[in-house]
Structure 1
Amino acid sequence: MDPAWISFTTDYGLDDGFVAACHGMIARLAPSARVIDVTHLVPPGDVTRGAHVLAQTVPSLPRGVHLAVVDPGVGTARRPIAIEAVDGGFLVGPDNGLLIPAAEALGGIRHAVHLTNTAWFAPQVSRTFHGRDVFAPVAARLASGAGLPAAGSEAAALVRLAPPHLLALPDGVSAEVLTVDRFGNLQLACVDGGLLDHRLLEINGRPAVVGGTFGDAAPGGLVVFTDSAGHLAVAVNGGSAADVLQVRAGDHVTVTHPS
């Protein structure tokens, strides 16, 4: 592992100083570390969205420490954890399901620790800002080469997100919308599975073409394709599939062959 890389994912937004405070803590403890900001625009408290963004991004990042904080349970009994992935990298954040998909994308979990060594934290820990006072210091220490076992005690039975809805239908599938990106494209909780062998499909009863990119549909038309993460996706050429279909993340859509 190159210990100089830390990726950083949160729902902190960009209007306040929260991200900068975490960067500052990292800079104090690991001044040679390089930080890649994945996003700080995860919808507030949306652990599922944060988990999907992180999991789909980490395979493209250098091996290092992946710091992620989407933590509506901050200050409660939820555990702070760090995970060593099979690829040799680390993930640091709350034990609320946020880190598990990313760890699986990096080959699986080799070791997990409940962060109980307060010597690794900031001198004073705010109950509402563990990103700065717990997770950022731990990430910095791991990036500097400190060994994970010293961070705390073994963590068993990590919290996992519920699996997304996916149901086979006689003529297609019913699938959960995993994410909606800023363009309104829908990423579904399924892969092709032969659906794209058909030239035409229906999404919630609306006609759609099968293609490889947005421009394969007529302007304003729906297109179904495999996205860059390997998931089945739905878009509108020049528009928003989320608006056209009136759906959002967590909703279910049907992808079926025309009758």
Structure 2
Amino acid sequence: MPPFASIATDFGAAYTAICSGVVQRLAPSAKVLILTDEITPYAIVEGALLLRQALPYLPEGVHMAVVDPGVGTPRHPIAVRTRRGDVLVGPDNGLLMPAAEALGGATAAFVLEDPAYRLPEPSTTFHARDIFAPATAHLLNGVDPAAFGPETAPLPLDLPGPEHGDDGTLTMTVLYEDRYGSLILSAEAKDLGPPRFGTPATLSWTSSDGTPTAIRVTYEETFGSVHPGDPLLWTDSSGALGLAVNQGSAAHRYGLTAGTVLTLRPPNGDS
């Protein structure tokens, strides 16, 4: 079986294809999958959670991911070895770490600093092409991650967690918006307690202009459990709780963005 690589970026198609071309030129026997080039620009959390969700379903291999608003700064380019046997390549900004945990945990990480494994004269703004893609190719060709540079302790990704109030409220943060405008939240179904499908609850937040806002919403198993245009809470395929509008965009409807804090109050304040 040929060595396998995946690539995930926030670049769009053209620049991601350039990176894929570098990998395939330097490792011509490898199979290269562009996992996505549609991560929201600069959205490290979105990219990290997508990788965490996707990589366990991909073949073992080298997985390059780049969402890198700090490109060219002193942040390190790294390769992270995982317990499953994969190597994750990308910037040391937390992007890779949730996926590493999903692949059994990180066993070691190394700085990509040896110029022998880069393109000549790397750009300060396109490390994906000049550093990450060549590193990915050399790893596919059998180079040990430790050959690239010194071992390092990668930065974690600090994600907000849910908060449970004594009055039965559940406070969550919007982590990111998916392509349908549904909002992925920093809680899971288990944080709701025993499922009560179809039971109305109140979801409230403070809008960006300081206006308090509240809606009635139900927790449902499927989008089709509510009428088109109605809101719902549901559990996405990764286990995260989300806010959606059936056949619509919750982000557009309610003006919610990543970082907004929401509070869910169950009926009559019961937990």
Q: Same fold (TM over 0.5)?
A: yes
Which runs of 5 or more residues in structure 2 are unaligned? 205-213
Inter-partner Cα distance in structure 1 for 2:60 and 2:128: 21
The number of equivalent residue pairs is 255
For 2:127 and 2:191, the matched residues in 1 are separated by 45
State whether structure 2 residue 163 is matched by structure 1 residue 164: no
Deviation at 1:183, TM superposition (A): 1.0
- Please name the residue that 1:200 is paired with: 200
Instruction: Find the aligned partners of 2:181 and 2:41 in 1 and give their Cα distance.
Output: 18
Specify the alignment match of 1:43 in structure 2.
Answer: 40
Any idea what the Cα deviations from partners look like across 1:27-72, whole Å, max 9, x if unmatched? 1110111111121122222222211221111112111111011111
Q: CA deviation at 1:144?
A: 1.8
Distance in 2 (CA, whole Å) between partners of 1:65 and 1:244 is 39
**Contact 1:185 1:233 survives alignment (8 Å):** yes
What value does the CA root-mean-square deviation take over the aligned residues? 1.6
Give the match for residue 85 of structure 1.
Answer: 82
Matches within 5 A, 1:129-148: 129-148=126-145
* Matching residue of 1:176: 173
Residues 203/12 of structure 1: CA separation in 2 closer, same or farther (3 Å cut): same
Does the 8 Å contact 1:3/1:143 carry over to 2? no
Given that 1:165 and 1:252 are in contact with CA atoms closer than 8 Å, whether structure 2 keeps it comes out as no
Percent identical among aligned pairs is 43
Counterpart amino acid of residue 89 in structure 1:
D
Aligned match for 2:186, one of 170, 185, 189: 189
SS class of match (2:187) = coil
Partner residue in 2 for 1:217: 226
Q: Secondary structure at the match of 2:256?
A: coil
- Within the alignment, does 1:234 sit opposite 2:243 as a pair? yes
Alpha-carbon contact 2:7-2:20 (below 8 Å) kept: no
Look up the SS of the partner of 1:189 in the other structure: strand
| Structure 1, 129-138 or 169-178: larger mean CA deviation | 169-178
CA shift in 2, pair 1:50/1:194, >3 Å: closer
Q: What amino acid is aligned across from residue 244 of structure 2 in structure 1?
A: A
Q: 2:101 aligns with which of 96, 100, 104?
A: 104
Alignment-derived partner of residue 62 in structure 1: 59
Which amino acid counterpart does residue 25 of structure 2 have in structure 1? R
Name the SS of the counterpart of 2:143 in structure 1: coil
Deviates more, 1:131-140 or 1:55-64: 55-64
Report deviation, 1:234: 1.6
Structure 2 counterparts to residues 69-80 of structure 1, below 5 A: 69-80=66-77
Q: Separation in 1 of the partners of 2:150 and 2:91?
A: 15
Distance apart, 1:3 and its partner CA: 5.9
CA contact (8 A) 2:109 2:152 kept: yes
CA distance in 2, matches of 1:22, 1:109: 25
1:165 is displaced (CA, Å) by 4.5
Partner of 2:253: 244
Looking at structure 2, the residues matched to 230 and 43 of structure 1 have their Cα atoms a distance apart, in angstroms, of 21
Q: 3-state DSSP class of the match of 1:193?
A: helix
Q: Tell me by how many angstroms 1:222 deviates.
A: 1.5
Greater shift in the superposed pair: 160-169 or 179-188:
160-169
Letter in 2 for 1:161: L
Q: Please tell me whether residue 114 in structure 1 is matched to residue 111 in structure 2.
A: yes
Equivalent position of 2:211 in the other structure: none
Residue aligning to 1:10: 9
**Secondary structure in structure 2 of the residue aligned to 1:154:** coil
Q: Which piece of structure 1 moves more, 58-67 or 161-170?
A: 161-170
Structure 1 pair 249/3, CA: closer, same or farther in 2 (3 Å)? farther
